[in-house]
Structure 1
Amino acid sequence: MTEPEEIVIPSEPPRHVVMVLLARFRTYLTSLAMLLVAVMMAVAVYRLTSEVRYDDVVNALKDTSWQAIGLAIFFTALSFASLIYYDLNALDYIGRRLPVAPVAVTAFSAYAIGNTAGFGALSGGAIRFRAYSRLGLSPEDIARVIAFVTFAFGLGLLAVSAIAALMTAPRLATITGMDPEWLRAGATAVLIALALLLFLGRNGRRVEIVGIRLRLPDTLTSSRQFLITAFDIAVSATVLYVLLPPTNVGWPSFFAIYAAAIGLGVLSHVPAGLGVFEAVILGALGGQVSVDQLLGSVVLYRMIYHVLPLTIAIISIVFSEARAMAKHPLAREMATVAGRVSPPLLSAFALILGTMLILSSVTPTPDGDLDIISKFLPLPVIEAAHFFSSLLGMALVISSRGLAQRLDGAWWVALVSASCAFVFSFMRALALGEATFLGLFVIALAANGRRFRRPASLLNQVLSLPWIMAILVILAGAATILFLVYRDVDYSQDLWWQFEFFNEAPRSLRALLGITLFSIAAVTFSLLRPAFHHPEPLAQEDLDKAVAILNASDNADANLVRMGDKRVMFSDSGRSFMMFAIQGRSWIALGDPIGDPSERAEMIWRFVENSRGAGGRAVLYQVSPALLSFCADAGLRAFKLGEMAIVDLVHFDLKGGRLAGLRQALNKGRRDGLDFEIIEQADVAAALPELKRVSDSWLAHHNTREKGFSLGVFEESYVSSLPVAVLRKEGEIVAFATIFKTDTLKEGSVDLMRFAPDAPRGAMDFLFVSLLEYLKNAGYSTFNLGMAPLSGMSKREVAPVWDRIGGTLFEHGERFYNFKGLRAFKSKFHPHWQPRYMAVSGGTGVVLALMDVTLLISGGVRGVVGK
């Protein structure tokens, strides 16, 4: 490292206390709002269906013609085909070309999960990141694709809804009770605003809105995307429309209602808009269509448009595992993409199946099925199968989180739970459809078992607040359905103890109680389980083992482990390690894992799980782009820190005009009487007094103190473990730098750099040029000049907020830190710049994580506020 690389956060102007509280508790407030919306929608659906009986809904489902179901499947296929073009259009917008087949697999999987799990930008975005990173897209390009498809859908939905409302205002006014003129006025205002936006963006112009610069798509791209969105929403609306019974509500009016229901469902952030979508449809069409038939149509719509595509996606990844498919290059490429997206797909499928088991446990079994089962099984067996099926459903819901993280424990829990539920589906009811889905899920898990090899305990997982809220939403939905189905049954305490073949209400009550108690126990265990002890400080034998590993690696900066101030986590094989320190709740790992590259993914997973197990926050500091896909798999969110300057020593040559400034610095140092010398590690102890004198004078002259973690400190044991480059004048040392290198001769670097106040001006330039020539002659390939913090931040229109903040600090933060000066110094050596990132578990903790890193490097609050 060439300079202190901590990031000092400037003090912010005071903000209103309410805004501070909102920012601090945003996650909690969002989760609470999601739960409240779900409860409100459950109450609304319950009241809107006050005259509906469960049997009527079942009969309505049975009365739906196969022709209508076939048409619904056809329009669903058209909808998902159009959704694929979102990604193709986005790739065209950013100027990248990818093979159509893997893009289609990725887009289909992303929308299958996004439509089901909600939070499409996040759930579908994770799919795109995993898949597109393997296809060669950079994180910035993937972020632009995600932003494009998200905003394209939002603006397209707004546009088509406004057009539909404008065309059908009188009809919508009759249904909604609003004034048609107000509907027309609102729709016109929306269309004018969108038209203005389209005009401003003609030919891909850049515009600035509330301080944010955007490059809008050109007219052709915008028009093409609008047609794709309009077609998508139109055919997806038709999926539900063809399932409705004959009605006098025309398709244009229904289209406007459907678009509003979809929009409100997306804004609610409730998974798949469950309850919100139904409440809007029931409220708008309840007076025009029989409510029981309307409910039956909505249930079928959910099955066809949400569950069916996800099932197809699961089937596709099962077939992608077949060896026969891998013989063809195109099939092999598609199988690679399918393998990357299989864990989140199986996670979403587990969530659906778990919810299905829970909901089926609170609904009655058909009498015909009970007649058949009662002839072969005794009542206690049926009761037990029904009760345990509901618990297995909740087990699948909880394990779905671990499946997304590729945990081996979650794989086993899901496999055993689904297998048992498959058997119970025949024992409690002849549920062939349920058994089919469970069987498919078991096969998919077995086929992809090798992808779930993260050695982490599922019991050590801390359920995050959004997952706790999701469990509560499922319980609220189950309770709503229970009360809706058995609204005619008078409650009494005796119901709990009634055990009869054809008395379903008591059985459902006991199942709801069971899953409620199981959920409370799981959440309580997650929140109150004992915290793990922090790992022990680094022992000498572990330090010796880590040094042996780093000497065989290409990462020179790994020599920072010699400081002994960090803890070390080794891989099971002992061929790799990660060094980290703990500050507050943050477990902060420094750099990439060192050692065997094939163990990097497992090392990251172990580190993340260990930090979570101790109730901490996992932070990977200064990681390279090669680790980003592994970080995404582990649920970490990456933020750019800056760029690392790497000098190519093979082509480093002072001849010519390109490096004339460095050649002049070398000649000036020689004229000033400077002599360059390398003190090998074995001889450093004898020079320690002189080195300490230079170091102390440098600290006193700069009125600063030693740093740490990502920077070395002057400790005799540390300095004497490294070779040192020194400058002498008249025989006395006036400047020095400790050298980082490994036995592979791949990379060299420096850590401590100190010079005496009386050293000639330009002494450090002379030291660096001399050191680079020495390492080049010694056979080294590259030289690491260290990181320039906050440099290279994206200035594109879809750049994350973090990049914009970092870019602003880089441009205007000279008062706090010499960002530009540091990059200018490194630029004199004409390096190539490699981005470095900080990856944090749970993106909302990035500011706290950065503060912990700053405190760790600076040695506490005193080191931050002082020098």
Structure 2
Amino acid sequence: MTRTATATLCLLIAIHVLRDRFQGLSLDATFAHVAGVSLPTVLLGILLTAVSYAAIASYDVLAFGLIGRRLPLRDLLRSGVAATGLGQALGFGLVVGSFVRWRILRDQRVTPKDAAAASALVTSGFLLGLAAVFAVMTLLASHSVSAMAGVSQVEVIAAGLAVLAIYALLLSTRGIELSLFGRKVFLPSRKLMLRQTLLAALDVLPAGLALWILLPAGVEASLGIVLIAYIAALGAGLLSNTPGGIGAFEGVFLIALPEAPVDSLLAGIICFRLIYFGLPFCLALLLLTDAELGTGRTRPLAAALRQAWRPTTKWRSVVRQSCTIDPAPPPSATLDSSRIAQAITKSHRAEANLAFLGDKRFVLSQHADGFVMYGQSGRTLVAMGDPVAPYGSWPELIERFRRHAVELGSHNAVLYKIGPDAAAICRAQGLRTDCIGHEAVLNLKTFDLAGSERRDLRRKARQAEKAGVEIQQHAPGQAPLQGLAEVARIWREGKRGRERSFSTGHFEPDYVARFPVFEARHNGSCCAFISLWVSGDGSEWALDLMRNRADVPAGTMHALVLAAAMAAKASGALRFNLCMAPLSGLEESTSRVESIGHAVYRRGARFHGLQGLRQFKSSFRPDWEPRYLARRPGPALIGAAVAAYRLCRKGPDEPQTAGTQPPLQSAHLSAYCGKAEDGADRGGPAEACVEQARS
């Protein structure tokens, strides 16, 4: 508050002192000068800005080296550009820069104290180098500086030499240790200080040159005077802590160039601000958004911009010499198919069959009794469903998954579509949980068609029967895949060629052949089908694929699901899972996040069919069980939601994010779960359930 008041006071004083200069100001003339800047001049200004910011970004390499953190060069350059771009535009560069460096580098286990220490070193190193460059420039143009400052040339030379003497004294000091934000920091060596000064020169000289070429023709000022005025204005702007140094920056130039037309001078400064502050500010926002979301959506553009702003090979070699980069090797990961298969065969959750999709990676329990399966979107790891393990192993597995994400350098660890028990464990571990919908579950002990509550379901089933629809059930591997494939193709074309994966299955013959299938035939051909997951212990059946032709008779899908539920009940299963209706059942929630989800559910039905899905499942009169998304508290919600959404919308043919562990293919589990690699059936639990239902 004090700094803000001081900066405002300084700005008012400068306006008062320079009020005479503003009497001849014409805004129309100023904007005319701005509009008259040629395209080659703008492009040259952008090029010089890129050179300056390449040097600015390299300060972070030196600073983090001084606090003993050896981080990847690309991440350090990225944090340097983002921290400086936002710090210069918003003001309070030390505070803003510390926050931005922490948010961007937290995947590298950089703490807020680390970021604050590095920001302080960046600022102090820059000011030290700036002072040395300013002293040299003052000595080279002492006559012009004396005329501009109203002091004798001898005094100007004496001041410049005094600054250089102090600089030389600092160069001679070695081995001095300081404590900075809880970090032990040694003063930079002579070689490192000289590199800081070189960075300062490579920073301010191209920037000052950019300002000089952007000044309109009416401003008659030599390059040396503009460079000196720019360095002084930059220092004044930094000390004022106002956004972009506004006020202090312009005031220095108005004093330093008293003969320049005020409208032309301000036009040049406006052009410079747009290029030197505006473009890096936009880039910094992009980089920070990319780090916060971690979705990979902004990565192609961000990567292209980073490539365009990358320093030259010679300059990179100078930076690398000051701080050796030793990125940590990725953690090793092993895949034990037998352990995963054993956990699936013992599981009471049919959803465990998602492991067969081939798009998951796994974190195994320490006690070899279960796993968490996950996918990766950008730098976010998303676990799919509850842990596939005995309940007693869930806390350990969830904690192992979160540690695994940190070891991989992941931005965030998210648990998607977990039940109330897993959500309670996540909350106990400090995670935030938000309800993302409700899962429709039939209690097969009490499920039947009697009573008025399922009158509509009986009517739908009779409609399909009267239309001549015949329901056939097939054991795993026995369904006519050719006919099913044709229905799946027609369905996919109606969905604009989109299949989904991750949280649901997709039509792939080897995958579908693993599960029981219920087929609807009309006029001698297949018109619709559903496939079912069966839990390892046979206690739960669940809907997976639901595919139909566009002209399928009314009630066909209801009849298919009803036939499957009755077959599950006959097999001795306890539950029939109709799966989740996303964002439904949130109307009474008091959570702001869940209220937003309910608004999407109410108003976004025409895009996602959310209300129609809930209505279809409701016709079976199921019990509704909440499902949750667990993530870190705070702004991680956006990245978590986007990552989960992108994974669920990703098609089966889209490439998966590279990782240290290969995805598990169905063939890896075939020897353990009901189907051998040669295609021979081995009598898995799903087949046994269907055969029992038939008998």
**TM-score, normalised relative to structure 2:** 0.48
Query: Per residue, is there more helix in 1 or in 2?
Result: 1
Which structure exhibits the higher relative contact order, with contacts defined as CA atoms closer than 8 Å and separated by 6 or more residues? Answer: 2
**TM-score, normalised relative to structure 1:** 0.39
